[in-house]
Amino acid sequence: MTHFNRGATFTEEPQLPDDPLIDLMAQTNAKVEHFDLSPDGRRIAYSSAQSGGYDLWVCDIDGANNRRVVAMYPEECLNPSWSPDSKWIAYTSRYDAFKVRADGSEPPINLSYGNGPSRGHEFIRWTPDGRRIVFVKGGPNGYNQVVSLPTDIPTGRIQPHYITNEEFNSTDVFVSPDGSRVTFMSDRSGYDDFKRMDVWVAPIQGGPARNMTPNTFNHYDYRPRFSPDGSKIVFTSDRSNWRRVGLIDVASGETTFLTNGEYDEYNPRFSPDGQWVAYVANREWSFHIMKTRADGSGEPIQITRGDAVHGGFDAYQVRGSIRWTPDSKRILYTFMDHARTSDLWTIDADGGEPEQVTRHMPRGLSDFPFVKPSLIRYPSKDGLEVPAWLYRPRGALGATPLVIYARANTKGLHVRGFYPYIQYWVHKGYSVVAPLVRGSAGLGKQYEFMNFGDWGGGDIDDFAYAAYHLVDQGLADRERVVMHGGSTGGYFTLAMIHRYPDLLKAAVCFYGPPDLIHSDRYSNGAGKPVLGDVVAGDRGGPDMAPDHWRERSAVYNLDKIKTPLLLLWGDRDGVRISMADDYFRAAKAKGLYTEYIQYNCEPHGWYHWRPENVRDSMRRMAAHFKKFTGL
């Protein structure tokens, strides 16, 4: 049952469809993205909404003995992490750190009581002795810090131990094998933007941190992980035009690079025997698991095959990961493609046939005719060639109604993965285009930064010109173009309706900021660098460039908006829901057609929403689009 609050600037009730296909598509959101393998290699802990909410589940490495250990409905369990003795599982929920016995024999224990991991950084690491957990928490100064807490049942006031405590963000922490140090990423340049990052090492008891990647001022060095003996750190760097896997000798500080491909590489992890480094490579938006020798000899080896997303890097639209088995012989990973939602699979480290571990695809979709997209390219307004994924209804010969699908995240991307909303629209008879607009990942660093300081500018032209291109090609009906997106994609959708007010017949915004000045005003130190960098760049913040910030915000451009809009928001969203409140009231005063839904106990990202609310959102979107396109 869906729990929500609703407002609308019109009186008639929307005609929500009762479509069994929507029910099935919504159930695919019960997928697996967060998981961990026990140190003994026997069991997997993972988060899944197969029972309605994102609960904590445990199964054997082959998928047998699957059972729910923690029921958190309507909350969610995130990023499980096994204790070194394989007896406990730590996880994050409600922005607190919990632990629970792996056999589920006792209720979970809250370890943090309001002092848990920061939003978006819900990863917990155990110290090797199991006595403390280490994670990233917002500090008193507003910046993310690396902290630790004891794993005993709290008996008094919770007092996190601050390993870092500077006026800089420190994130993505990893504990050394001997428990004496942590490595993490932090930008301490003082520039406070989104262009640079360094790898650091600090004593776990606190003290001066050491920069392991000095003199790399304009580069992003991140995602550090210790080797099994603690002598090396593997990390990812964009020092070339592409992200590559590098290796740091901890004693000398010398860096060597293990790879040199012309594609992005992410999430490197040492094999337990220290001989190999596995990582994930983006090859034309298929993500493959690769491995290379840790000593730098030989060429990288591709382990997986096919047009799909194997593994991931815990961010963007590739929220998954990889784990080695303790014997270094197999790799456990997340997998999805255009026809299958994300599940856990294993594969031999030398390649071969993968084996499926979990099964979250509804049986009712086993014979469904999912559409595989094709990659197209088209010229934007300024002549830039933009790639895009095009989904066409089966059997379509001419122009169809068109959905523009706006990808999420700054530096985001649209991958060869599973998108339930898209597959539903295509089945209904819409074509769907998902442009990789300027600022998207996967085409090199230069392309990623093309919208630096120009958020809501050239990228919006790229979206509009995708529609114009398909109309010119006879594939899209100019009179029936709609758009939707979430987060950054939601912002893009809002920007489109005031930048191109005559293009769209209807639009849907999931939790996209309509007021960038509002966003900046209420951002703390953890959020300001990203926002300011993408919105205005060197122009500065709202105080220095107020006209630019207002021109790029929908709420200050209501006089240009004509498009009927549906706003969808979770009331736990980190994109402040007060912005949606402000926008709705302003749109109501202007007489703009707007419907506004607040879903209870939902976070940022529909991909983390409970299936019941994915179902409700899809029904509302279908009714909204049908009202204005007839389909």
CA distance 542 to 523: 13
Q: What is the mean pLDDT of residues 376-381?
A: 98
Residue 270's Cβ-side half-sphere holds a number of Cα atoms within 13 Å equal to 25
Share of the chain above pLDDT 70, in %: 98
Residue 12, token pair as written in the block: 């008639």
Q: What is the mean pLDDT of residues 93-104?
A: 96
Q: What is the mean pLDDT of residues 466-480?
A: 98
Report the candidate in 72, 109, 118, 115 with the shortest Cα–Cα distance to residue 89.
Answer: 109
Task: Count Cβ atoms below 10 Å from residue 353 Cβ, excluding itself.
Answer: 6
Domain boundaries, the chain: 4-24+365-515+553-629, 258-359
Task: Count Cβ atoms below 10 Å from residue 379 Cβ, excluding itself.
Answer: 13
DSSP 11-36: -SPP-----HHHHHHHHGGG----EE
CA distance 202 to 210: 6
CA distance 226 to 234: 6
pTM over 0.75: yes
At 122 the pLDDT is: 83
At 526 the pLDDT is: 57
CA distance 301 to 315: 24
Is the pLDDT at 527 greater than 60, yes or no? no
Is the pLDDT at 317 greater than 80, yes or no? no
CB proximity list for 423: less than 8 A, separation 6 or greater: 25, 338, 368, 370, 371, 391
Least confident span in 199-203, 458-462, 509-513, 531-535: 531-535
Is the pLDDT at 190 greater than 80, yes or no? no
CA distance 283 to 547: 40
At 314 the pLDDT is: 65
Identify the band that residue 331 occupies on the pLDDT scale cut at 50, 70 and 90. Answer: very high
458-472 and 488-499 are packed helices; what angle lies between their axes, rounded to 10 degrees?
70
Cα of 92 vs its chain's centroid, Å: 17
Q: What is the mean pLDDT of residues 615-629?
A: 98
At 188 the pLDDT is: 87
**Residue 178 · residue 132 · CB < 8 Å:** no
Identify the band that residue 119 occupies on the pLDDT scale cut at 50, 70 and 90. Answer: confident
Q: How does pLDDT run across 13-33, given as a tens digit for each residue?
A: 999 999 999 999 999 999 999
Average pLDDT, the chain: 95
Q: What is the mean pLDDT of residues 276-305?
A: 96
SS3 for 99? strand
Identify the band that residue 313 occupies on the pLDDT scale cut at 50, 70 and 90. Answer: confident
CB proximity list for 251: less than 8 A, separation 6 or greater: 231
Share of the chain above pLDDT 90, in %: 86
Q: How does pLDDT run across 205-235, given as a tens digit for each residue?
A: 999 999 999 988 889 999 999 999 999 999 9
Identify the band that residue 312 occupies on the pLDDT scale cut at 50, 70 and 90. Answer: confident
At 150 the pLDDT is: 98
CA distance 287 to 145: 31
At 338 the pLDDT is: 98
Q: What is the mean pLDDT of residues 258-278?
A: 96
Cis previous bond, 272, omega within 30: no
Q: How does pLDDT run across 394-438, given as a tens digit for each residue?
A: 999 999 999 999 999 888 999 999 999 999 999 999 999 999 999
At 491 the pLDDT is: 97
CATH code of the region 258-359: 2.120.10.30
Task: Count Cβ atoms below 10 Å from residue 114 Cβ, excluding itself.
Answer: 9
CATH number for domain 4-24+365-515+553-629, candidates 3.40.50.720, 3.40.50.300, 3.30.2450.30, 3.40.50.1820? 3.40.50.1820
Look at strands 264-270 and 276-283 and give their pairing: antiparallel
At 444 the pLDDT is: 93
SS3 for 544? coil
